[in-house]
Chains A and B, each alone.
Chain A
Amino acid sequence: MENQFFVDSEYLSPAALEKKHRLETDPSCRKSHMEYLPGMEQIQSDICEQVMGQVRAYDYGQYTERDVRAALEHETCSIEDFKALLSPAAEPFLEKMAQRARLETSRHFGNTVYLFTPLYIANYCENYCVYCGFNCYNHIHRMKLTMEQIEREMEVIANSGMEEILILTGESRSMSSVEYIGEACKLARKYFRMVGLEIYPVNTDEYRYLHQCGADYVTVFQETYDTDKYEQLHLMGHKRVWPYRFDAQERALMGGMRGVAFSALLGLSDFRKDALASALHVYYLQRKYPYAEMSLSCPRLRPIINNDKINPLDVHERQLCQILCAYRIFLPFVGITVSSRESAAFRNGIVKICATKVSAGVSTGIGDHERKYSGKESEGAEGDEQFEIDDSRSLDRMYQDMAGEGLQPVLNDYLYV
């Protein structure tokens, strides 16, 4: 296992340190990652079986140049075609894939690009996910915004012109309860047209409650679909339960959400298999819930506070571009979001090929929008960030840059009905 992830903090008590080391070195002391914990809803769904059956059988070394050429010639991209496009054999065809992807994007989305910003309202976390800056053993400034602070943050963001917001928390039910998040959604409805959530997975009735509070999109990253690797990276906490996380999007749709977003964190495991799994997760769920709106993200690993060695391994920009083009060709109708983890140059380029949404004015810290947006010294405390971002462009700058690329930036294309 990659020791690049393990960092001991001098602030941990000897007992905490001992537990941490035991979790890291002794698999037998960890809870089963495939068993539901009390309170976790179990739905009857065959989606996981369909996705994982395909992923297990995927041997990308088998695909040849001929398969890739055939895939690019087919009008409709089949699952087999998609597998060829994700394979190493497709790498020399990147430019051709980009051209095809661009055509599909323009057919479905015309010349538009959507803008949004994330808002972290709390960074408390009860999980030990070894690559994440919020993990419970990482010594960072923890914070949970009060409703007054949340409203102030929202005012600052709304004043910048932003109309779509994605509310995020660390994964701590005890510190950031569903009700707390629901109240934040109600506030967000006052300031924004579109409210999305990226929080810990919850049960169907809780998604229904959050939808009633004003949220309509739910993003859950599976991180990796490789269950063995998942077990080694998510050592403790609710997040450790892989199947509960897998079914989160389906529960969200059952709870009345309009749309759901998916992703693997590329670089954690075999990125080709994880990309296949992410896209098939969308594909099969869309067949079951054809009215739902779906989108894919493509985050790569980034350095975190106290550990700058974390990197996306073998997923370089060319590989990322290949994955995104393959996503677009296979799923022409889905949104593709590229976050500020990527550079400005990459994002400027990829929106002309296949991405349809980018974030702007991003902070992954807590309560620091006023300082970051206005340059004013902060009056209160701030919570530390989840990971380092690369592209720090403001909304205005992003708007101008996207228009400069010949695209029409769209701040809202949504109604809460």
Chain B
Amino acid sequence: MNQDKLIIGGHEFTSRFILGSGKYSLNLIEAAVKDAGAEIITLAVRRANTKEKENILDFIPKGVTLLPNTSGARNAEEAVRIARLARELGCGDFVKIEIMRDSKYLLPDNYETIKATEILAKEGFVVMPYMYPDLNVARDLVNAGAAAVMPLASPIGSNKGLATRDFIQILIDEIDLPIIVDAGIGRPSQACEAMEMGAAAIMANTALATAGNLSMMAAAFRQAIEAGRKAYLSGLGRVLTRGAAASDPLTGFLRD
């Protein structure tokens, strides 16, 4: 297991839990990072666009990789501008592209996301696009230079789990980049299931932010993600979906 690294854009990570930061108290961020064992934390650039009083950037522990996101962007051009601003703010080269043309469900705009990925990858960013799980789009993102693909499990903040399970499985099976399941994961058990399927990592925010005890929930997610990963690596056993398997071989009648 120690050799099992998550590699994104040439950077190695041991943790497979990416933590959101935007929906809870700033002074809980450090504890959440510690209890989640997270090495990557996302950050809305627009939240960091603030003056000295309680800037979210000041609350993120040193040594954690920042993954600034472009939330607030409505098209590729705006996402590119926000990503460049993140770099200027000293947030590093990682960027999670979020482009929403829908304020109700906050569903990502796949077409604009491909365009932004291409531009930012050429500028040397480690681009992690948030997307609706569509195989053709995922392939376009690979060709555009993405470092990982981040399909949504269900609408952001909904805590509904793997509503897009079958389509995420297709991405896992067909795409050679890390598939990081983002948005909609509400319980550790759902995170565990995604990891069993072969997801490379899990991203969660609301599930922790709305938990009774944020630190304890962060730890629970960590354990669930590790369990799912081990299950995936060990090779899942035979899973009986209905009834029992026949004890006599069905093909026993064949004579030669």
How many angstroms from the CA of A161 to the CA of B51 in the assembled complex? 8
Contact flag A111-B209 (CB < 8 Å), given A408-B26, A411-B54, A417-B78: yes
How many angstroms from the CA of A412 to the CA of B205 in the assembled complex? 19
A109 touches B23 (CB 8 A): yes
How many angstroms from the CA of A45 to the CA of B22 in the assembled complex? 37
Chain B residues with CB under 8 Å of A411's CB are 50-51, 53-54
How many angstroms from the CA of A408 to the CA of B59 in the assembled complex? 13
- Contact of A19 with B by CB under 8 A: no
Chain A residues with CB under 8 Å of B24's CB are 110-112, 408
Contact flag A110-B22 (CB < 8 Å), given A291-B103, A417-B81: yes
- Contact of A309 with B by CB under 8 A: no
- Selected from A110, A193, A290, A293, the residue in CB contact (under 8 A) with B49 is A193
- Contact of A40 with B by CB under 8 A: no
A286 touches B104 (CB 8 A): yes
CB contact list, B1-58 vs A, under 8 A: 22-26, 44-47, 49-51, 53-54
Residue of A nearest to B20 (CB): A110
- Contact of B248 with A by CB under 8 A: no
A410 touches B47 (CB 8 A): yes
B51 to A: closest C-beta gap in Å: 6
- Contact of B73 with A by CB under 8 A: yes
- Contact of B143 with A by CB under 8 A: no
Q: Mark B63-75, 1 if CB is under 8 A from A, else 0.
A: 0000000001110
B53 touches A414 (CB 8 A): no
Contact flag A412-B47 (CB < 8 Å), given A291-B103, A417-B78, A417-B82: yes
How many chain B residues touch the partner (CB < 8 A)? 35
Q: Which of A110, A333, A403 has the most CB of B within 10 A?
A: A110
- Selected from A106, A163, A290, A293, the residue in CB contact (under 8 A) with B209 is A106
Chain B residues with CB under 8 Å of A294's CB are 103
- Contact of A345 with B by CB under 8 A: no
B224 to A: closest C-beta gap in Å: 20
**Main secondary structure on chain A at its contact with chain B?**
loop
Chain A residues with CB under 8 Å of B82's CB are 415, 417
How many chain A residues touch the partner (CB < 8 A)? 28
Contact flag A163-B206 (CB < 8 Å), given A107-B159, A417-B72, A417-B78: no
- Selected from B54, B72, B103, B105, the residue in CB contact (under 8 A) with A415 is B72
A193 to B: closest C-beta gap in Å: 6
Chain A residues with CB under 8 Å of B102's CB are 290-291
- Selected from A107, A109, A290, the residue in CB contact (under 8 A) with B158 is A107
- Contact of A26 with B by CB under 8 A: no
Residue of A nearest to B54 (CB): A411
Q: Mark A189-211, 1 if CB is under 8 A from B, else 0.
A: 00001000000000000000000
Besides A291-B101, A415-B72, 20 other CB < 8 A contacts? Answer: A106-B210, A109-B23, A110-B22, A110-B23, A110-B24, A110-B206, A110-B209, A111-B24, A112-B22, A163-B50, A286-B104, A290-B102, A291-B102, A291-B103, A292-B103, A411-B50, A411-B53, A415-B46, A415-B85, A417-B78
8 tightest A-B contacts by CB? A110-B23, A110-B209, A291-B101, A417-B78, A415-B46, A106-B210, A107-B157, A408-B25
